[in-house]
A and B are shown apart, each in its own frame.
Chain A
Amino acid sequence: QHKQNVGVSTGCQSGCQTCSVYNGCLTCKPKLFIHLERDGMRQIGVCLASCPNGFYGMRSPDRNDCIKCGSECDTCFNKNFCLRCRAGSYLHKGKCQESCPEGLVPSDTKRECVP
Chain B
Amino acid sequence: LCILQHGAVGQGQSTPATCSPLCRCDEDGGADCSGRGLTAVPSGLSAFTYYLDLSMNNITELPANVFRNLPYLEELRLAGNDLSYIHPEALSGLHQLKVLMLQNNQLRTVPSAALRNLQALQSLRLDANHITLVPDNSFEGLQQLRHLWLDDNNLTEVPIVPLRHQGNLQALTLALNRITRIPDSAFANLSSLVVLHLHNNRIQEMGKNCFAGLENLETLDLNFNNLKTFPEAIQSLPKLKELGFHSNNIAEIPEGAFHRNPLLRTIHLYDNPLSFVGITAFQNLSDLHSLILRGASMMKDFPSLTGTVNLESLTLTGTKIRSLPAELCDDLGLLRTLDLSYNEIEEVPSFQGCGRLQDISLQHNQIKQIERDTFQGLSALRVLDLSRNQIKFIHEDAFLSLSGLTNMDLSLNSLVSVPTAGLSSLNQLKLSGNLDMKNTLVAKSLPKLRSISVPYAYQCCAFTARDGPGSSAGEEDKSKATGEDEDMDRMPLVVHCSPSPGAFKPCDYLLGSWMI
Chain B 304-321 interface residues, beta-carbon cutoff 8 Å to A: none
Q: Are B125 and A50 in contact (CB under 8 A)?
A: yes
Q: Are B55 and A50 in contact (CB under 8 A)?
A: yes
Q: Is B324 in the interface zone, CB < 8 Å from A?
A: no
Q: Which of B169-177, B203-211, B227-235, B250-258 lies at the binding interface?
A: B169-177
State in angstroms the CA–CA spacing of A14 and B170 once bound together.
34
Q: Is B104 in the interface zone, CB < 8 Å from A?
A: yes
Q: Write the chain A residue with the least CB distance to B175.
A: A59
Q: Are B55 and A77 in contact (CB under 8 A)?
A: no
Q: Are B80 and A15 in contact (CB under 8 A)?
A: yes
Least CB distance from B397 to A in Å reads: 47
Q: Write the chain B residue with the least CB distance to A110.
A: B98
Least CB distance from B449 to A in Å reads: 39
- Interface range on chain A (Cβ under 8 Å from partner): 10 to 19
Q: Is B127 in the interface zone, CB < 8 Å from A?
A: yes
Q: Are A59 and B80 in contact (CB under 8 A)?
A: no
Q: Are B104 and A81 in contact (CB under 8 A)?
A: no
**B242 — which chain A residues lie within 8 A by C-beta?**
80
Q: Are B200 and A49 in contact (CB under 8 A)?
A: no
- Interface range on chain B (Cβ under 8 Å from partner): 20 to 34
Q: How many A-B residue pairs have CB under 8 A?
A: 67
Q: Is the interface of A mostly helix, strand, loop or mixed?
A: loop
Q: Is A1 in the interface zone, CB < 8 Å from B?
A: no
Least CB distance from A114 to B in Å reads: 13
Q: Give A residues with C-beta under 8 Å from B.
A: 14-15, 31-32, 48-50, 57, 59-61, 77-78, 80-81, 83, 93-94
Task: Give me 16 A-to-B residue pairs in the complex whose CB atoms sit less than 8 angstroms apart, sorted by A's number.
Answer: A32-B80, A49-B55, A49-B104, A50-B55, A50-B103, A57-B127, A59-B176, A78-B171, A78-B195, A80-B219, A80-B242, A83-B123, A83-B147, A93-B192, A93-B194, A94-B171
Q: Give B residues with C-beta under 8 Å from A.
A: 35, 55-56, 77, 79-80, 101, 103-104, 123, 125, 127-128, 147, 151-152, 170-171, 173, 175-176, 192, 194-195, 197, 200, 216, 218-219, 242
Closest 4 CB pairs of A and B: A49-B80, A49-B79, A31-B128, A49-B104
